[in-house]
Amino acid sequence: MSINRILTLFIGFLVLFSCENVKESASETSNNTQKVEKSEPTFGIVIHGGAGTILKKNMSDSLEIAYKEKLTEAISVGHEILKNGGTAMEAVTKTINIMENSPLFNAGKGAVFTHEETNELDASVMDGANLNAGAVAGVSRIKNPIDLAVQVMNNSEHVMLSGKGAEVFAETRGIELIDPAYFYTESRFQALQKVKQREIQNATKAVSNQNDPFIKNSKFGTVGCAALDKNGNLAAGTSTGGMTNKRWNRIGDAPIIGAGTYANNATCAVSSTGWGEYFIRGMVAHDISAMMEYKQVSLQEATQEVIQEKLTKLGGTGGVVAIDKDGNVSMDFNTEGMYRAHMNAEGELVLGIYKENQ
Ligand code: ASP
């Protein structure tokens, strides 16, 4: 065999060998690409529309459908934002806006009445990426208090503003002040009248209002949302009219960071609903995050212990929705029901109202 022929064979072999390698690395690349596609960052969203004595026997079919439709509409808005790469904070606020604008919930339109027959609204937001937070308390001329809470967070050096001052700040941020009559709904007004009548009856019988189940059960309903976005950022928000018949400018847990709302990228995002005084005393939302951080327990274990054990032992009623940094979700409550919904990255929806999931 001539030297030329040997060289040609050798070069041919080299070319063949390198072609094989290219093929292999190409398939490796496509495998990697597939892997990247598969491990596309997860996201998720969870909401509540208040907890309390919500019993199927007291609910008409049409009202149940109305709640389910509104919960689905709200969570779908947030889910779409997250799916398109939007931030957890944007998803939380836009989702809450839908519920604030619906008279079904005790937030924005449909807020409960104070003893003086006015509406005083509370709201807060927290960004888990940097622990920034904003809150407003006792506002009565802000259509969407959650938006004002965001403005406080982003455009003031404060975390919480209240009452008239918060409304003056709102104007500086271009948020329109509305006529308080906007918040009026007949059903909430009648609920206040019933609670007041019951208080008068109790006074004549020397019965405590605090333990009267009728009064306890007619007070609740709040909206909240917690979300995880594709960048791994968590956010939470809560908006409420507070509790029926509240007086003396009472402020609940909803605008209190750590009680009604908490978010930390290292752990989870939480929004609370229920008897606010107990959530403040228990620092419920922060406690869930702290348990995950200090005890290294799962979100499920943390919410279970804080709601079913600590809050219950304290005498508090209500629940939370929460999502952790991996997209795990918890919707835990110790009342008869909690309006709630969860949607994962695949768009699978879980809706619930009563204790048994339906
Ligand atoms: N937590 C709210 C408050 O105490 C009420 C509620 O969630 O229903 O103001």
Q: CB 329: neighbour CB atoms within 10 A?
A: 22
Q: Do 207 and 312 have their domain in common?
A: yes
Residue the block writes with tokens 């750590």: 258
Pairing of strands 337-344, 44-52: antiparallel
User: Which atom of ligand 1 is closest in space to residue 251's alpha carbon?
Assistant: 9
Question: Both 76 and 22 in a single domain?
Answer: no
Query: Ligand 1 pocket test: which of 216, 223, 275 has the largest number of ligand atoms within 8 Å of its C-beta?
Result: 275
Per-residue confidence (pLDDT) for residue 218, from 0 to 100: 61
Mutate to test the pocket of ligand 1, among 53, 239, 240 (most ligand atoms within 8 A of CB): 240
**42 Cβ neighbours under 8 A, 6+ residues apart:** 228, 230, 326, 327, 344, 345
- The minimum-distance atom of ligand 1 relative to the CA of 122 is 9
Asked if residue 176 and residue 252 are part of one domain, the reply reads yes
pLDDT, tens digit (0-9, with 9 covering 90-100), for 284-297: 999 999 999 999 99
- Centroid of chain to Cα 176: 25
* Same domain flag for 140 and 8: no
Candidate list 222, 240, 261, 267, residue with the active-site label: 222
Enclosing domain of residue 344: 44-357
**266 token code pair:** 């290292």
**Residue 54: per-residue pLDDT:** 85
Instruction: Determine whether 238 is an active site residue.
Output: no
Q: Please answer whether residues 188 and 245 qualify as being in contact, where contact means their C-beta atoms are separated by less than 8 angstroms.
A: no
Nearest one of 37, 262, 239, 304 to 127, comparing CA atoms: 262
Q: Which pLDDT belongs to residue 2?
A: 53
User: Among 117, 121, 255, which residue's Cα sits nearest to residue 185?
Assistant: 117
Q: What is the structure's pLDDT at 216?
A: 61
What span, in angstroms and rounded, lies between the C-alpha atoms of 78 and 57? 31
The 10s digit of each residue's pLDDT in 151-167 is: 999 999 999 999 999 99
Instruction: Tell me how far apart the alpha carbons of residues 132 and 206 are, in angstroms, rounded to a whole number.
Output: 47
Distance (Å, rounded) from C-alpha 342 to C-alpha 351? 7
Nearest CA to ligand 1 atom 7: 273
Is residue 119 a contact partner of residue 163, using CB atoms and an 8 Å limit? Answer: no
CA distances from 221 to 11, 243, 354 (A): 79, 8, 14
311 and 284 Cβ atoms separated by less than 8 Å: yes
Please check whether residue 153 is in contact with residue 132, taking contact to mean a CB–CB distance below 8 angstroms: yes
- For residues 24 and 53, state if they share a domain: no
**For residues 130 and 137, is the Cβ–Cβ distance under 8 A?**
no
Q: Which amino acid is residue 68, in one-letter code?
A: K
Ligand 1 centroid – CA 279 distance (Å): 9
Q: What's the confidence (pLDDT) of residue 53?
A: 81
Q: What is the pairing mode between strands 160-162 and 132-139? A: parallel
Contacts of 199 (CB under 8 A, 6+ apart): 209, 215, 245
Statement to judge: residues 134 and 253 lie in one domain: yes
Are residues 165 and 19 part of one domain?
no
* Whether residue 153 sits in one domain with residue 16: no
Cβ atoms of 318 and 334 within 8 Å: the answer is yes
Ligand 1 pocket by Cβ (under 6 Å) = 50, 106, 220-222, 240, 242-243, 252-254, 273-276
Looking up tokens 């508090």, which residue turns up?
Answer: 316
Determine the distance separating the centroid of ligand 1 and the alpha carbon of 223, expressed in angstroms.
9
How many CB atoms are located within 10 Å of the residue 214 CB?
14
Per-residue exposure over 35-46, b if at least 16 CB sit within 10 Å of its own CB, e if not: eeeeeeebbbbb
Looking at the 3D structure of the chain, how many domains does it have? Answer: 2
Same domain, 20 and 169: no
- Ligand 1 atom with minimal separation from the 52 CA: 8
Instruction: From 188, 245, 273, give the residue whose CB has the most ligand 1 atoms within 8 Å, as the site to mutate.
Output: 273
Q: How many CB atoms lie within 10 A of CB 302?
A: 26
How would you list the strands of the sheet with 318-324, edge to edge?
A: 261-263, 268-274, 318-324, 329-333
Residues 237 and 285 in one domain: yes
| Contact present, 241 and 106 (Cβ < 8 Å) | yes
CA distances from 44 to 24, 76, 233, 258, 283 (A): 37, 11, 11, 21, 24
CATH number at residue 256: 3.60.20.30
pLDDT of the residue at 217:
62
Residue 231 per-residue DSSP state: T
Low-confidence ranges of the chain (pLDDT < 50): 7-8, 10-37, 358
Give 271-289 as a DSSP string. EEEE-HHHHHHHTHHHHHH
Q: How far is the CA of 32 from the centre of ligand 1 (A)?
A: 49
- Cα(221) to centroid of ligand 1, in Å? 6
294 Cα–ligand 1 center, Å: 28
> Phi and psi dihedrals of 350, rounded to 5?
-120, 120
Is residue 118 located within the same domain as residue 17?
A: no
Indicate if 33 and 65 belong to the same structural domain: no
